[in-house]
Each structure stands twice: as structure tokens, then as C-alpha cells.
Amino acid sequence: MEVQLSTIEAREYMPGYLGKMVHGQNMTLAFWEVTRGAVVPEHSHVNEQIMQVLEGEFELTVDGVAKTYKAGDLVLIPPHCPHSGKAITHCRLMDAFSPVREAYT
Amino acid sequence: MEVQLSTIEAREYMPGYLGKMVHGQNMTLAFWEVTRGAVVPEHSHVNEQIMQVLEGEFELTVDGVAKTYKAGDLVLIPPHCPHSGKAITHCRLMDAFSPVREAYT
């Protein structure tokens, strides 16, 4: 199965978070366009998550520790680990989740 | 756990395929720099694979069907599905694997 990023419909899954989802059998790739200042409240989930900053700066708080990440930075968030985020600038992010992120299907 | 792509040591996992690996618990992200003309012979594995072309053109043959992909294209390769590839131009690819791609650890 193949898909072009340009043809996936973006949805605003949270205020300021426009996402394009690619779901496989074992994992989900999420491509985000994030408005400056937009916040993800603290949450956790069964899925392991690897976040990659593609463009801009994003503050991620993992297990209570906040840090700002920029293009080329990757953060591994273990299953069930509480995390939250805030876009310091407009940014583009990619998240990989495993297993599939059911909340975004 | 965090990591910067620029600080991961690249290894030539196959001739012409310089890869940087990010291994989690449930998945692996592989960032490839591929020399023009470099070939991956047909193979298959238990891991689901999602390939994304980041730059250049890459010919992927999945289950006997060859097609050329370019930046923004994503291909989902199911577990155990035979596939092979060839770099039409110099290219950059990202592969996501789940479960972890043990062969690259």
C-alpha cells in the first residue's frame, strides 16, 4: 500500500495541531503542522512514541522534565510515560507510535 | 531518552546504504543516505516496514511490482512481504520498522 503525504487529508486533532496519519498494522506515523504556542496537555498512552522535530522548536515535557527540541532532535517516550508539549515556534513534527495509535484512527 | 540525528554514527549496513538507527522498545527508525544505483536484494522480515522517501528517487519492488517513489511518498510493506530496492538517484529515506529491527541493532 502506498500513499503520498500531499494527498492525505489533514485534521485538527487538537487545537493548533494539524495532523496527517499513516496507519499500518503495528504502528502509526503522524505528520504534524503545529501553530506557534499550541499546547498538548499532559497525557500518556500504551503506545511507545518517538518524536522527531522536522522544523521549528518544540518544548516537550517528559516525566516532569521540560526541554526544547529543534530540527533533527528525536525523543523516545516509553509506553505509559506522561508527557506534554508546546510549540515555541510554528513547527513540523513527526511522531511514530507502536502499536497503532487508535485514538487517531 | 533523546538523541540528535547529527550525533548518531552512520554505518554502511549494505553497500551504498549509510544508515543511522534509532531503536525503541517496539520500533526502529532508520535514516538512510543512499548512493545512486545502490541495490537492496529481495528479502523479507517479520517486521512491518513503512518507507518514506525524503529526497531523490527510489525504486521499490514489493511482491514483484516495481515502482519509483519520490519525496513525500510512503510505502507500507506488510510483515513477511518480499521487497527489494534500487536508488535511481542519490536519495535520503526513512524506514520505520515494528517490532524493532534486530538485524540493525
Residue corresponding to grid cell 520500533: B27
Residue A15 lies in a domain: no
- Determine the residue of chain B that is closest to A76 in CA distance: B1
* pLDDT tens, position by position, A25-77: 999 999 999 999 999 999 999 999 999 999 999 999 999 999 999 999 999 99
* pLDDT score at B29: 98
**CB B60, CB B67: distance < 8 Å:** yes
Residue A52 lies in a domain: yes
Closest CA of chain B from A69, distance in Å: 9
Point out which residues pair with A26 in neighbouring strands. Answer: none
Point out which residues pair with B61 in neighbouring strands. Answer: B66, B84
Q: How many domains does chain B have?
A: 1
ipTM: 0.95
Residue A13 lies in a domain: no
Among B72, B78, B79, select the one facing A5 at the smallest CB separation: B72
**Percent of all residues in chain B with a pLDDT value above 90, rounded to a whole number:** 97
Dig out the grid coordinates for A61 from the structure.
Answer: 515535557
What pTM was estimated for this model as a whole? 0.96
Among B24, B76, B96, select the one facing A1 at the smallest CB separation: B76
Look up the CATH number of the domain holding residue B69. Answer: 2.60.120.10
* pLDDT score at A72: 93
Domain range for B91: 5-104
Dig out the grid coordinates for A71 from the structure.
Answer: 530540527
- Determine the residue of chain B that is closest to A97 in CA distance: B27
Query: Which 3 state secondary structure label does DSSP give B6?
Result: helix
